[in-house]
A = this chain, B = another copy of it.
Amino acid sequence: MNGNRFGRLFQVTTYGESHGPGMGCTVSGVPAGVELDEADIQRDLDRRKPGQSMITTSRGEPDEVSIQSGLQDGYTTGTPIGMTIQNKDARSGKYEPFVTAPRPSHGDFTYSAKFGTRNWGGGGRSSARETVNWVAAGAVAKQVLDQSEHDVQVKAHVNQIGDIEAPDVSFEQMLEHSEENEVRCGDPETAAEMRDLIDEYQEAGDSIGGSVEFEAQGVPRGLGAPRFDSFPARLGQAMLSVPASTGVEYGLGREAREVTGTERNEDWEFPEGEDDPDPTPVGNDHGGLQGGITTGQPIYGELTLHAPTSIPKTQRTADWETGEEKEIQVVGRHDPVLPPRAVPVVEAMLYLTILDFMLLGGRINPDRLDDNPGEYDTPYHPSSPRND
């Protein structure tokens, strides 16, 4: 409703502006008994952090997270987890020229149009800096999933920068290679080419678009509440929240326009060598989603991100206070390309979406009532807080 909350049962609520005192998020609906410490979260924050490479802004933010609540002896208690991250290296002065003269294609104008005011330093609330909260919350979701009996695995990588497209990359390749290079591409050779292209644009004072490919394996079937809370609908909301996104595709995506029913339809078969096997589709052009509900097959798709709008070139704007058109230059520390730092953000939104749906439950039948009594058969004990 107000834009700062994501999720139904696993809920993330955020605050914070790029140049305000601090960022923060509150995560509620976290199951009790999950081991969690700040280092788990920090690991992912470090992947999103500015200044981590030559192709990211040089803003110096340690992005250190502090957990304020929701833990007992290192385990979650089922109550909300508050996290804060202080802003340390905001330099607002450079943004003064834009207070009433909006930067081209940024959110300056729309925020001021909406609210009649805005926090103008560093883009304020519209800054991609806000995704630090998403990554913190996603890291909590990841911990919950990792400690469940399910083997949910999520990974994203950069599959296109400008006109350089990565070849098809397996999930294993993504896992193995995408964090080895600064571009976060699962194919090391393509990564090198992408890196060269980025350097080229950066040197030319320009920026370039690209895309992130994502995949989730081990997601249980039965997730999604068609129609308006179908898995693809809610994942779409998550993905299109990512700053600079201009489109999301699942499975065959845009390509499906030219594919026939005969080609795309997947017969059902019983896999060989399994006891009591389940009907399984012979392929996965459906991207793990049928009728808006997960099939248990891998969920995959792509998110397109346009070129960063902060470029050092001289541009023109119109100052609504003075009524004058004028030239401006957006100096500052900016990313020449967005997908590399968007990778942990996309992964976070996948974790949040998947866990939220898992808490809502796959199968909803009367047995569910029996599964959730207020039992405390494994009562709390300080020395062994897990229910085991």
Contact = CB atoms under 8 A, between A and B. Distances in A.
Interface string A189-223: 00000000000010000111111000000001111
Interface in A71-88: 71-72, 75, 77-82, 84
B256 A307 contact: yes
Interface stretch (A9-17, A54-62, A167-175): A9-17
A119 B267 contact: no
Contacts of A311: 261-262, 265
A261 B209 CA distance: 8
- For A113, A256, A260, the residue with the greatest tally of chain B CB atoms inside 10 Å of its CB is A113
A154 to B, nearest CB: 15
Nearest to A163: B258
A: interface residue count bin = 35 or more
B14 A29 contact: no
Contact of A221 (B75, B361, B374, B378): B374
Nearest to A352: B228
Contacts of A67: 21
A375 B317 contact: no
Given A21-B69, A26-B26, A279-B320, A229 B294 contact: no
Given A115-B77, A116-B33, A262-B311, A232 B240 contact: yes
Nearest to A252: B246
A348 B24 CA distance: 23
B291 A126 contact: yes
Given A233-B237, A239-B236, A376 B116 contact: yes
Q: Which of A11, A23, A207, A267 has the most CB of B within 10 A?
A: A267
A223 B364 CA distance: 18
A31 B370 CA distance: 12
A91 interface: no
Contacts of A118: 72, 77-78, 380
A102 B178 CA distance: 38
Contacts of A385: 117
A269 interface: yes
Interface in A357-379: 358-376, 378-379
A101 B270 CA distance: 12
23 contacts: A2-B11, A2-B29, A2-B80, A4-B80, A14-B80, A20-B69, A23-B69, A31-B369, A32-B365, A72-B118, A77-B125, A100-B380, A110-B294, A111-B293, A113-B293, A113-B363, A114-B363, A118-B380, A148-B366, A163-B258, A222-B372, A254-B254, A256-B304
The 4 residue pairs across chains A and B that have the minimum distance between CB atoms: A222-B374, A107-B291, A3-B225, A247-B249
Given A31-B366, A249-B304, A278-B320, 15 more contacts: A3-B226, A5-B28, A68-B84, A84-B84, A99-B381, A102-B268, A105-B290, A107-B291, A110-B292, A111-B291, A160-B257, A222-B373, A268-B318, A293-B374, A364-B372
